Structure 1
Amino acid sequence: MTAAVTREARLGGHILADALVAQGVTHAFCVPGESYLDLLDGLYAQRNRIQLTTCRFEAGAVHMAEAYGKLTGRPGVAIVTRGPGACHAAIGVHVAFQDSTPLVLLIGQIPFEETDRESFQEVDYRKMFAPLAKWVTQIDDAARIPELMAHAFDVATSGRPGPVVVAISEEMQRKMAAVPDLAPAAVLPPHPAPDAIPRLMEMLGRAQRPLAVIGGSRWTAEGRAAIRDFLVANDIPVAVGFRRQGLFDGTHPNFVGDLGVGADATLVAKAKQCDLFLAIGTRIGETVSQGYTLFDMAGATPIVHVYPDQAEIGRVYRPALGITADLNAFALAAKAAQPIAKPVWSGWRAELRAAREAQAKAPQYDGSLNLAVALQELEKALPADTIFTTDAGNFATWPTRFMHVSEGQDFLGPTNGAMGYSVPAAIGAKITHPDRTVIGFVGDGGFLMTGQEIATAFHHKVAPIILVFNNQMYGTIRMHQERHYPGRVSATQLTNPDFARFIESFGGHGEIVEATDQLVPAVKRAMASGKPAIVEVRTNPEQVTNRSTIEQLRAQAAKA
């Protein structure tokens, strides 16, 4: 690497912008604020190298940056102002933390000489973000900008990826300093220990009922292909972690479903029967482990846990073998291993696959709209490189159960269950990959949390398609309410606008779907329009989940 050359004196705000360029940043998402005017001016000077997206709400800006980080494996960058701006942004930081997404959030800060006076919009970000971020720092000396910014990007991408928060004090940005820009360090990823793969294959050779679950972040196309080849060559049944559908081809005979919220009960039961659990990239957290009920924590079921951060291996479940490695490096090493000659578990794999196919069959539902059938028809009509984003809510279990994310497609969702994620994530995805079709799934509750970010799509001339599932309620909470307090409806009903007219007021394309055969033509018209689009899908409020109606939940509660 070429040695850094000390540059002439620059304003701190310009050093910050140059530091982003030096770290390879090409996109940043912001809501402007007076606390970082000098950085904004530096970004103006770098406008041909960094595409700056102006957002309407700080949570939306961070969700967009987080989607960028998920799709590229590089840190998404968001910039917000101090106080309220930082508080709004905290939701996106929590998403990045629990989703293990590389992210760098810059926050404008008060002049450091006013610290501890409760100055206007003063917050101690080290305290505020300590439990939400991998690292929190504040830059008060312009001469340290390159050092601290380079370290921020290193931390965001090392080990278990995650968010880093950098506060930038206001007067620091106006100070002059003559310092060199620092490029990223050339760090080779950690590879599996020499005996890791042989020990893995030895354990696999003794198994009768293995099951693999793939999760995690920063998978490359090469890594995803390699782990697929390894698992298929050994005929291992493959599930994905919560909202990680993009990591394995859902149409493949080895795919057996997802272990997350709303997982198929048959898959959960079969997972408890497995005699070797390959946890590849997943932390085996609360959702994947079905509330920590899948296994005995002491290790009665042998677990091979592959993760890039040793601190996460054995954090809850004691593995029979822990492998600390970059996920892509592990995948390539595993692919190179000689496959098991005649796996004895092919019948087991076929059994799990049959269960997946059975649960994906569309039942008969009351009313003119069978959402399961409509979504399966939509799956056939979408391009092979479609990007899906999803929000939190009961509606999200419908595409997870009835659709299949295939090879070449991506699926982005908040594993922390953040409502309001899907719309800004869809916009961020479309900005990241403008030539790919982006479909966002969101409920009526989640849409009105960040749906105003659709203005950002118009402003930056990208055209995601948002499917709003409207049942006029907070469906997940209503489901729990009916299970625990049947018939006592409190705080879960909603009053909504006409979502099609909402998008039309911006000059976009709006559709309303009320019948099964209307969804695919509506989405096709939305795609053909070339405009940001909303397809409002008016669902049956009685069908509160894809498995139960409100009447059925009340009947079940009465028997309990």
Structure 2
Amino acid sequence: MSTATRTGGQLLADALVAQGVTHAFCVPGESYLDLLDGLYANQDKLELVTCRFEAGAVNMAEAHGKLTGRPGVALVTRGPGACHAAIGVHIAMQDSTPLVLIVGQIPFSETDRESFQEVDYRRMFGSVAKWVTQIDDAARIPELMAHAFDVATSGRPGPVVVAISEEMQKARVAVPDIGPAEVAPASPAPAAMERMLAMLDAAERPLVVLGGSRWTQEARRQVREFCVARDLPVAVGFRRQSLYDCTLPNFAGDLGVGADAALVAKAKQADLILAIGTRIGEPVSQGYTLFDMAGQGAANGGQKIVHVYPEQAEIGRVYRPALGITAEINAFAEALARLPAAKGGARWSAWTKEVHAARVKQAEAPDYAGPLNLARELQALEKVLPKDTIFTCDAGNFATWPNRFMHVTAEQEFIGPTNGAMGYAVPAAIGAKITYPDRTVIGLVGDGGALMTGQEIATAFQAGVAPVVMVFNNGMYGTIRMYQERAYPGRVSGTRLTNPDFAKFIESFGGHGEVVEKDGELVPAFQRAVASGKPAIIEVRVNPEQVTHRATIADLRAQAGGGKKH
């Protein structure tokens, strides 16, 4: 470890290297020039990715954190830069993603004068970050940065914001670097595992719900084998399709926005909920209506909840469980693998078949009006995808189509913002491709989200990576239009969009563009896009009348009693 005199900027860059950071995503600013210079000296150890918009940079870092389990790192300048970055911090908070955001700060001698671009970051990020700190002593840079990474990954993972002023980056001090601490993960108590098994043995209609972050592939395998051996029906939380092989005969579907009504009904009938890694938040609980809030089972044998989570403060925060188990998710999975093997057939096998049958029926593609049946096209696409494909998904009504009709397999990744933030998928796809350049990466985004951060496609060219972005174009903010038609049928206000030719948009950068308008076109378009070796956009022009996978605009108006023409 170096103890030579170094500038604060060099110390900060060296601190990132000491914590094992391999990539950082930035929009440069004059408030952290010395950090940039420190990163120049570390360019053989850490790749600095220059982005076009701070929200895009933080989304790339957040995707890196989701996929690796290590904190994604983003660097932004003070004031406007930090404000633009806030959305990514909120995503990381609600998605429990480890993230470290470094913000250049004004000279501390100017504090409280409303200096140029002055913001109090403790107040600004206080409610959307796990921890916020400001470094006002250069000698503490290694200490505070090491702690920032500890906080981002411990308990419930989340985002940490670190502000540092220009003076601190210029100050010269001689202090050693500090590497990661070796910490044994919190393991479940053996007595708790025994009680969980006893509760499972007493159940008639159990349901497993998986969620949360920082799952390893090994943990996924161990949980999968436990659930398959006991024939337990398994649902995944909102945008957590990666956590279970959705092709297995005990898969129940996803509990989130747009969840299948049949799955919701089955979840209400379940007498035991084994919630592993999920906070059981608002999307998963269908607006806090899905489970028994007491969660401990009424005297007449009501629903019980076993809640497994790495942060004890989250257990019982909303739902009071019959049993709470505080454990790091991967350590809990290891404990599952050590449990005695299941004996004989599960008495709830008929129940599991019912739950899975509802999922199978849900995934059947209906006959939709128009030249393009998006459900069948997506199912044709999934058959030709590599087994390690990474999907990044934006927010919007379009996202319910892949959720319903596609099946993520054991080695694939599916990531998206559980806080419903638009503009995520394009930068996340770029961040994913930079993180795993040899894997196929597909960004799924609506036309609204595509033009929020679509300019980040320039970063893909600069970084030399080639994700494929599928833009679902219906010329509207579809989710809001859906709610609008339900509440104010026929009164269209503020939801129409005018879009570019997205294929020509990517071609203007030198990329590959495709347009899909009818059945049979998506798979060949995708194959040409991949074969091009260039960043690509496939514009999928969908029927605007089919505003959801379950209803047309005419249907919504009829249900609302409107029936007006549009």
TM exceeding 0.5: yes
CA contact (8 A) 2:396 2:478 kept: yes
Q: Does 1:103 align with 2:103?
A: no
CA contact (8 A) 1:224 1:248 kept: yes
Match of 2:159 among 160, 163, 167: 163
What is the rounded CA distance, in whole Å, between the counterparts of 2:562 and 2:450 in structure 1?
Answer: 36
Cα distance, 1:559 vs structure 2: 8.2
Match of 2:328 among 321, 326, 329: 326
Cα distance, 1:496 vs structure 2: 0.3
Match of 1:489 among 451, 474, 492: 492
CA contact (8 A) 1:18 1:42 kept: yes
Q: Does 1:512 align with 2:500?
A: no
Match of 1:200 among 180, 196, 201: 196
Q: What SS does the aligned partner of 1:195 have?
A: helix
Give the equivalent residue in structure 2 for 1:277: 273
Q: What SS does the aligned partner of 2:383 have?
A: helix
Residue pairs, 1:339-358, within 5 angstroms: 339-341=341-343, 342-358=345-361
Give the equivalent residue in structure 1 for 2:337: 335
Cα distance, 1:340 vs structure 2: 3.8
Amino acid at match of 1:21: V
Q: What SS does the aligned partner of 1:434 have?
A: coil
Give the equivalent residue in structure 2 for 1:368: 371
Give the equivalent residue in structure 2 for 1:190: 186
CA contact (8 A) 1:16 1:145 kept: yes
Instruction: String of CA shifts for 1:208-255, please: whole Å, max 9, x gaps.
Output: 000001000000111111111111111100000000000100101111
Give the equivalent residue in structure 2 for 1:458: 461
What is the rounded CA distance, in whole Å, between the counterparts of 2:397 and 2:179 in structure 1?
Answer: 45
Q: Does 1:546 align with 2:542?
A: no
Cα distance, 1:362 vs structure 2: 0.3
CA contact (8 A) 2:391 2:441 kept: yes
Q: What SS does the aligned partner of 1:121 have?
A: coil
Give the equivalent residue in structure 1 for 2:148: 152
Q: What SS does the aligned partner of 1:322 have?
A: strand
Give the equivalent residue in structure 2 for 1:381: 384
Q: What SS does the aligned partner of 1:517 have?
A: coil
Instruction: String of CA shifts for 1:464-510, please: whole Å, max 9, x gaps.
Output: 00000000000000000000000000000000000000000000000
Amino acid at match of 2:224: R
What is the rounded CA distance, in whole Å, between the counterparts of 1:109 and 1:358 in structure 2?
Answer: 55
Amino acid at match of 2:353: A
Instruction: String of CA shifts for 1:140-181, please: whole Å, max 9, x gaps.
Output: 211000000000000000000000000011111000000000
Amino acid at match of 2:29: G
Residue pairs, 1:179-258, within 5 angstroms: 179-258=175-254
Match of 2:123 among 114, 117, 127: 127
Match of 2:410 among 402, 407, 410: 407
Q: What SS does the aligned partner of 1:381 have?
A: coil
Give the equivalent residue in structure 2 for 1:522: 525
CA contact (8 A) 2:393 2:444 kept: yes
Give the equivalent residue in structure 2 for 1:312: 314
Give the equivalent residue in structure 1 for 2:426: 423
What is the rounded CA distance, in whole Å, between the counterparts of 1:446 and 1:349 in structure 2?
Answer: 37
Amino acid at match of 1:358: K
Cα distance, 1:337 vs structure 2: 1.0
Amino acid at match of 2:124: M
Match of 2:68 among 69, 72, 97: 72
What is the rounded CA distance, in whole Å, between the counterparts of 2:337 and 2:546 in structure 1?
Answer: 44
Amino acid at match of 2:161: V
Match of 1:31 among 22, 27, 31: 27
Q: Does 1:500 align with 2:503?
A: yes
What is the rounded CA distance, in whole Å, between the counterparts of 1:248 and 1:320 in structure 2?
Answer: 25
Give the equivalent residue in structure 1 for 2:438: 435
CA contact (8 A) 2:232 2:352 kept: yes
Match of 1:263 among 259, 262, 272: 259
What is the rounded CA distance, in whole Å, between the counterparts of 1:254 and 1:270 in structure 2?
Answer: 13
Cα distance, 1:194 vs structure 2: 2.0
Give the equivalent residue in structure 2 for 1:63: 59
Q: What SS does the aligned partner of 2:223 have?
A: helix
CA contact (8 A) 1:205 1:340 kept: no
What is the rounded CA distance, in whole Å, between the counterparts of 2:77 and 2:129 in structure 1?
Answer: 18
Amino acid at match of 1:545: T
Instruction: String of CA shifts for 1:510-535, please: whole Å, max 9, x gaps.
Output: 00000010000000000000000000
Match of 1:138 among 124, 131, 134: 134
Identity %, equivalent residues? 75
Instruction: String of CA shifts for 1:363-421, please: whole Å, max 9, x gaps.
Output: 00001000000000000011110000000000000000000000110001000000000
Q: TM-score, normalised by structure 1?
A: 0.99
Q: What SS does the aligned partner of 1:271 have?
A: helix
Q: Does 1:394 align with 2:397?
A: yes
Q: What SS does the aligned partner of 1:516 have?
A: coil
What is the rounded CA distance, in whole Å, between the counterparts of 2:267 and 2:4 in structure 1?
Answer: 61
Instruction: For structure 1, list consecutive stretches of 5 or more residues without a partner in the other structure.
Output: none
Instruction: String of CA shifts for 1:192-211, please: whole Å, max 9, x gaps.
Output: 01201111100000000000
Amino acid at match of 1:310: Q
What is the rounded CA distance, in whole Å, between the counterparts of 2:34 and 2:338 in structure 1?
Answer: 51
What is the rounded CA distance, in whole Å, between the counterparts of 2:335 and 2:137 in structure 1?
Answer: 44
What is the rounded CA distance, in whole Å, between the counterparts of 2:290 and 2:397 in structure 1?
Answer: 23
Amino acid at match of 1:17: A
CA contact (8 A) 1:17 1:42 kept: yes
CA contact (8 A) 1:112 1:169 kept: yes
What is the rounded CA distance, in whole Å, between the counterparts of 1:396 and 1:39 in structure 2?
Answer: 38
CA contact (8 A) 2:3 2:175 kept: yes
What is the rounded CA distance, in whole Å, between the counterparts of 2:522 and 2:481 in structure 1?
Answer: 26
CA contact (8 A) 2:461 2:535 kept: yes
Change in CA separation of 1:274 and 1:559 when aligned onto 2, cut-off 3 Å: farther
Q: What SS does the aligned partner of 1:441 have?
A: strand
What is the rounded CA distance, in whole Å, between the counterparts of 2:257 and 2:152 in structure 1?
Answer: 27
Instruction: String of CA shifts for 1:281-302, please: whole Å, max 9, x gaps.
Output: 0000000000000122122310
Give the equivalent residue in structure 1 for 2:300: none
**How many aligned residue pairs are there?**
556
What is the rounded CA distance, in whole Å, between the counterparts of 1:348 and 1:320 in structure 2?
Answer: 22
Instruction: String of CA shifts for 1:58-81, please: whole Å, max 9, x gaps.
Output: 000000000000000000000000
CA contact (8 A) 2:223 2:333 kept: yes
Q: Which runs of 4+ in 1 moved over 3 A?
A: none
What is the rounded CA distance, in whole Å, between the counterparts of 1:205 and 1:94 in structure 2?
Answer: 40
Instruction: For structure 2, list consecutive stretches of 5 or more residues without a partner in the other structure.
Output: 298-302
What is the rounded CA distance, in whole Å, between the counterparts of 2:254 and 2:341 in structure 1?
Answer: 25
Give RMSD over aligned pairs.
0.9
Q: What SS does the aligned partner of 2:59 have?
A: helix
What is the rounded CA distance, in whole Å, between the counterparts of 2:175 and 2:420 in structure 1?
Answer: 42
Amino acid at match of 1:320: A
Q: What SS does the aligned partner of 1:167 have?
A: strand
CA contact (8 A) 1:61 1:424 kept: yes
Instruction: String of CA shifts for 1:15-45, please: whole Å, max 9, x gaps.
Output: 0000000000010000000000000000000
Cα distance, 1:6 vs structure 2: 5.6
